[in-house]
Structure 1
Amino acid sequence: MKQRKTIAQQIAAKLYKQIHDENKYSIGEKLPTERDLVDEFNVSRNSVREAIKILATKGIVTVRHGSGIYVHDVNFQNGFDSLRKKSLELNNIYEFRIIYEPEIARLATQRATNEEIQQIIQCAEEIVTLVDANEPYYKKDEEFHSLIAKATHNDVIIELVPLIMSFVVSGILISNANGGVQISSNNAREGHMAIAKFIAARDEMGAYSAMRIHLEINQKFIREVNNL
């Protein structure tokens, strides 16, 4: 078992090099099938599957059941050894977002037009659909938080949207890279819908609390992983 794990790690490192250093596969491109990878590396299918799992938990590839294995955005990565540093930075990002975004949700609840509320609800529903289908939902997650910020009708908050959006996807990917795929997915499915429902109900404190809980779940995981 130990030998098989070592082989899987070697395959994962080779695939990572092909993606990150050699640019053999581009972002969003489909990787060869398991059978093709078995032939390429002359190893067992189990070893290939374990290697893919390693890459998936690090946010380097996305496995779409019934479709294949796709390269994810690895620009935030700087090799396998950078995860702890990135996680420490992410904890600081979550501290900022927990101070900032619950109040944005409260203001959006107060000021959003009915049309904007419908857009927020629809976006939350689309995230649920993507999560349940095991499809990448990161861009929709970005859109959800952006819609809420814009619904505040506060020019300063809207100007800061690109900054916040730069944190959203990296937060998900770094959490996933630390083994938090299931936590991130569950939180995406349940957290966004809860926030959207409170906004639709014009419940300011409900939206504030739901947003805070949504962010704290991911921060708690990162802190536990890194013993912070």
Structure 2
Amino acid sequence: MRTHERVLAQIETGLAAGRWSIGERLPAERALAEELGVSRPSVREAIRILEAMGIVRTAVGSGPSAGATLIDRPAAGLGAAVRLHVASGTLPVSDVVRTRVLLEAGAVRDAAARASGDAALARAREHVVAMADPGLDAGVFLEHDQDFHIELARLGGNQLVEAILSGMRAAVASYVAAGAAAVEEWPRTAARLCSEHSAILDAVARHDGAEAERLMREHIEGFYRETGLDEHHGVVPKPSAVAVRGSATAS
């Protein structure tokens, strides 16, 4: 085990034992190095890794906000890790779709149990209304579509699920764009997808978790089948290589 990995392991042990709490600062580099019996560069490298993982926030200087402060942003680290794997172009589309089904179906079921009125669903409904515009620019449509799905995941209340889905955003956008380009009558498909979005949201608003889960599964899997992506066992295309024909994309 390399030195900075030992530092990470010992900091993890301290966090698990409750030695530090969210909002508190870790000891200074010098103090940590002396306590752990390692060099300051090793401590510095470990802190940088923790910052990339969304565990700490660092600030330079000598004031009260200087040093490494404990935070908790799971989307930062998980999202970055998933995005890097997407960028490598090695994720099969089928894996992305199956993961979406597992996570999003459960998320909307939880959202239906938690939904506490129109205010909680307002942001998701705004995206549904925007996507219903047949003249909407393709890029804008895709952004609304992605935001709608992430908003429902957020309503489910599971930060880990939300973080993973946020990290998958580029992968989803890429395969959806490729699928939309293969659809012969996109306006009809887009209208159907918008209708499915509305039905999912309505089920959540009625607190009908079983129906919301069923509709979400059919929504994601239906588009995958319709576009013929299930017949091509390729990897997720890189965003720069995807050109959408004619109009907007959705999932």
- TM-score calculated relative to the size of structure 2: 0.50
Letter in 1 for 2:97: Y
- Contact 1:102-1:208 at 8 Å conserved across structures: yes
Partner residue of 2:202 out of 197, 209, 217: 197
Query: Structure 1 181/171 Cα, relative in aligned 2: closer, same or farther at 3 Å?
Result: farther
Cα deviation, residue 227, structure 1: 6.2
Is 1:146 the counterpart of 2:150? The answer is yes
| SS of 2:168 mapped into structure 1 | helix
| SS of 2:92 mapped into structure 1 | helix
Letter in 1 for 2:99: F
Is 1:135 the counterpart of 2:137? The answer is yes
Aligned equivalents of 1:165, 1:225: Cα separation in 2 = 19
Is 1:214 the counterpart of 2:219? The answer is yes
Residues 140-195 of structure 1: per-residue CA shift (max 9 Å, x gap): 00110111111112221232232232233223201023336626513422211111
C-alpha root-mean-square deviation of aligned residues, in Å?
2.8
Matched residue pairs, number?
A: 143
Match of 2:172 in 1: 168
Residues 30-72 of structure 1: per-residue CA shift (max 9 Å, x gap): xxxxxxxxxxxxxxxxxxxxxxxxxxxxxxxxxxxxxxxxxxx
Task: Give identity over the alignment, percent.
Answer: 17
Aligned equivalents of 1:177, 1:146: Cα separation in 2 = 23
Is 1:100 the counterpart of 2:128? The answer is no
Letter in 1 for 2:96: I
Aligned equivalents of 1:104, 1:119: Cα separation in 2 = 16
Aligned equivalents of 1:107, 1:164: Cα separation in 2 = 20
Aligned equivalents of 1:155, 1:227: Cα separation in 2 = 33
Q: How does 1:62-101 map to 2 (within 5 A)?
A: 89-101=92-104
Aligned equivalents of 1:90, 1:222: Cα separation in 2 = 12
Aligned equivalents of 1:148, 1:163: Cα separation in 2 = 15
Residues 58-112 of structure 1: per-residue CA shift (max 9 Å, x gap): xxxxxxxxxxxxxxxxxx99xxxxxxx99x9222211221222111110111113
Aligned equivalents of 1:91, 1:184: Cα separation in 2 = 21
Letter in 2 for 1:165: R
Query: Structure 1 181/144 Cα, relative in aligned 2: closer, same or farther at 3 Å?
Result: farther
- Contact 1:187-1:214 at 8 Å conserved across structures: no
Aligned equivalents of 2:202, 2:151: Cα separation in 1 = 14
Partner residue of 1:121 out of 100, 107, 125: 125
Cα deviation, residue 208, structure 1: 0.4
Letter in 2 for 1:107: D
More divergent stretch after superposition (174-183 vs 90-99): 174-183
- TM-score calculated relative to the size of structure 1: 0.54
Letter in 1 for 2:223: N
Aligned equivalents of 2:161, 2:125: Cα separation in 1 = 21
Structure 1: state its 5+ residue gaps. Answer: 1-75, 78-84
Structure 2: state its 5+ residue gaps. Answer: 1-85, 234-251
